[in-house]
Structure 1
């Protein structure tokens, strides 16, 4: 099933959410790894990850109780959304 345009709009409205999806496209990563890859603030990346998790676009790949080195990955829906964003030329 293709992601809805409101989901795409949600992602592209934030450079942080776009950055998170672009890094996670290459595989699981921690908040710090995402922030370092894109030269962004870890706190902003963390907030973006939380919002993307709420929309089921990313998922935690370690137990919820783990507080350090939490790794995130794209869900199937997140992968489809990222592909649609790229095909539409919205991942600037």
Structure 2
């Protein structure tokens, strides 16, 4: 396994050990969203979403595209975040088949 692949697996594990992180990633998906919409879609309180987004941002899994805004910050998955979500979704598809 390559070093990049190992890093992807570590990040995937980091996301999967927290249902909040996993739900947040799935909620964002291919879209650009504000924390309030992520909270509504995932069923998680907004204050928890803010903490989760901060954690995911520190791991470069999500990015804020308008940091200067005090309200209505927009978040999207980074390329790494998309790769992590793909691994999670592929694993879930495989588990449904098995």
TM-score > 0.5, shorter chain as reference: yes
8 A Cα contact 2:8 2:83, kept in partner: no
Which 4+ residue blocks in structure 1 deviate beyond 2 angstroms? 1-4
Computing the radius of gyration over CA atoms, which structure comes out larger, 1 or 2?
2
Residue matched to 1:60: 64
| One of 73, 77, 86 as aligned partner of 1:74 | 77
Residue matched to 1:86: 89
Q: 1:24-78: per-residue Cα shift (whole Å, max 9, x none)? A: 113010110000112211011111100000000000011x221100010000000
Question: Mind listing any 5+ residue stretches in structure 2 that lack a counterpart?
Answer: 94-98
Q: What CA RMSD, in Å, does the superposition of the two structures yield over aligned residues?
A: 1.5
For this pair of structures, how many residues does the alignment match?
89
Query: Aligned partners of 2:74 and 2:68: how far apart in 1?
Result: 12
8 A Cα contact 2:60 2:78, kept in partner: yes
Residue matched to 1:38: 42
TM-score by length of 1: 0.88
Structure with greater helix share of residues: 2
| One of 10, 23, 29 as aligned partner of 2:27 | 23
Question: Mind listing any 5+ residue stretches in structure 1 that lack a counterpart?
Answer: none
